[in-house]
Structure 1
Amino acid sequence: MTAGERTGEKKDQCQGTGDINFKDRIASSPCVFTIGVAGDSGSGKTTFTQSIRDIFGEDLVTTITLDDYHLYDREERKVRQITPLHPEANRLDQLEHDLVELKEGHTIEKPVYNHATGRFDPPIRFSPGKILILEGLHTLFTPTLREHLDFTLFVEPDPEVKIEWKIRRDINKRGYTREQVMAELGPREEDYQRFIAPQQQYADVVVRVRFSKYGRERGTQDKVYQVSLSQNKITQSIEDVDLSIDLFSLLSLSDRNFLIEFSHEQRNTERSGELIFDGELSARMVERLEQSIEDQTQVRPISVFHNRGHVTATEVVQLILAWRIIHQRVFLERCHHLDQIQG
């Protein structure tokens, strides 16, 4: 059962909105709201939760990278001929223990994996923010991890996109050579299909990234991709939200290509929907969505896209995910309040 399904059981009891600044309410709440983001290394996991960091800030949002829970350093993995995608190459039992502690608001001694050296640095004391994001390969791998996550996301770029991103990241940020990256891709892909990809079935939302239909080069040059959200039917709503189509821009011939598409699909055993964006959309089209988030949370201003004429498909999806996550947090807050009253 996903986080969305769990909260959906209280749909009829938890409607309604409030006027209290939700950011202040989160800051004063004893609860730690956990977001789990799973996907392959270099798949863009951080990108799709960036809006949450932008909206709520570093005072409230903390992040754990699951690479810190590798069991072996880079050299030992080579000797053992095991990739970090294999569960046995990670301390998932310690991760489970630490997540339970963090969910209770406790400080932990967190391990630290240094990508520059491929070795482990000394552990550090880590305290959770009121919003805790877990990002990594095995975020949704075990029942215990899934049980203690309030919102779950899986990011899946197309293989060609993933290879391009991984090469660029590992060379520019992690000191690998192109030859080293390419040599790892074969064994990693086998383990990805075996251990990582199946975690999609547990995610509230699956984000897929493909090269844009308007040209593969748009990704490298302008970060323009085709991005989709696959999600089961939302079973609860606080209030309606709008993603407006600016007819004036369309009828006066928009100067950028874009696509919005919705299609039904079968995800897991349930019928689901895939919302697809491509190209660049007028920033005016997302203003109503930003306004809806402000109205629901009383956090003003959102304005994720400052002084922008156009936004990419990736940025639109970032904002929609921010609404989904905030919506889930608002809903859980109100259900918790109702439980206290009824208790």
Structure 2
Amino acid sequence: MLIIGIAGGTGSGKTTVARSVIDHLGWDKVTFISQDNYYKDRSMLSMQERETINYDHPNAFDNELLISDLMLLKEGKIAISPVYDFTIHARSTSKTIEMQPNPIVILEGLHVLSDENLREMLDIKVFVDTDPDVRILRRVLRDIEERGRTIHSIHDQYLNAVKPMHEAFIEPSKKHAHIIIPEGGHNQVGIQMLSTMTEKYLLENSN
């Protein structure tokens, strides 16, 4: 099993890169994991308390559970991922994702390269590097359209959490990357290179 980790700032195009690679390889060969689904379970807190949590800090993620699920997949076993509901800042109580132990696992998320223990699970480390102005515009559109946020809440969260956490943790994690893909999903050459590397692994391990 080959585990690829794709990190980068908010709105950098991590998911687009991951899905482009999977489209090239075939969804039957790849297990896709979003680190977003592994936010720590805060269901015991009130909505008001949940709204004050810094979700851009590495400690917001339940990496122990994520690593445990990756180990299950490496052992050839099915793993069950939680599903995170951003509209209520909590894990869904009715939905989970059954993850199959496919030959390729692609994990994408803000802090995929920030945690040493998680990095050790990765065979290929990728960082998607996109200009900050492009990233914030994508974040604004996503949070309004998909997560029901107001422009004022996005503004406050960006200045108080997103920007400082990017500078403190995400940007420094770039040094751990084997591959840096500028401009995310628009970089077809970078995506093709990653796809070719992964395809080569599949061919070499098909017997």
- Give the structure-2-normalised TM-score: 0.84
Structure with larger Rg? 1
Paired residue type of 1:45: K
Aligned to 2:105: 132
Task: Pick closer, same or farther for the CA change 1:143–1:333 going to 2, 3 Å.
Answer: farther
Match of 2:71 in 1: 100
What residue ranges of structure 1 are gaps of 5+ in the alignment? 1-31, 210-226, 228-311, 338-343
Residue type of the alignment partner of 1:333: N
CA-based RMSD? 2.5
Aligned partner letter, 2:20: S
Give how far 1:126 is off: 2.7
Q: Distance in 2 between matches of 1:75 and 1:67?
A: 20
Q: Is the 8 A contact 1:69 1:91 kept in 2?
A: yes
Amino acid paired to 1:206: I
> Is residue 84 from structure 1 mapped to residue 84 from structure 2 by the alignment?
no
Going from structure 1 to structure 2, the CA distance change for 1:33 and 1:115 (only over 3 Å counts) comes to same
- Partner of 1:46, secondary structure, is helix
Find the aligned partners of 1:330 and 1:133 in 2 and give their Cα distance: 14
Q: 1:44 to 1:333 in 2, by over 3 A?
A: same
Aligned to 2:91: 120
Question: In the alignment, what sits opposite 1:333?
Answer: 205
The reply to whether residue 50 of structure 1 matches residue 11 of structure 2 is no
Using the TM superposition, give the Cα deviation of residue 183 of structure 1 relative to its aligned residue in structure 2, in angstroms: 1.4
| Counterparts of residues 1-343 of structure 1 (less than 5 Å) | 32-71=1-40, 72=42, 75-79=48-52, 82-122=53-93, 123-187=96-160, 188-209=162-183, 314-327=187-200, 329=201, 333=205
Question: Does the CA contact (< 8 Å) of 1:69 and 1:95 recur in 2?
Answer: yes
| Partners of 1:124 and 1:208 in 2: CA distance | 30
Q: How many residues align?
A: 200
One-letter amino acid of the structure 2 residue matched with residue 44 of structure 1: G
Q: Which structure is richer in relative contact order (CA contacts within 8 A, separation 6 or more)?
A: 2
Asked whether the equivalents of residues 83 and 91 of structure 2 are also in contact (C-alpha less than 8 Å), the reply is yes
Alpha-carbon separation, structure 2, partners of 1:148 and 1:85? 22
> What TM-score, normalized by structure 1, do the two folds share?
0.53
- CA distance, structure 2, for counterparts of residue 37 and residue 128 of structure 1: 18
Whole-Å separation in 1 of the counterparts to 2:149 and 2:98: 29
* TM-superposed deviation, 1:331: 8.2
Q: Per the alignment, in what secondary structure is the counterpart of residue 148 of structure 2?
A: coil
SS at match of 2:187: helix
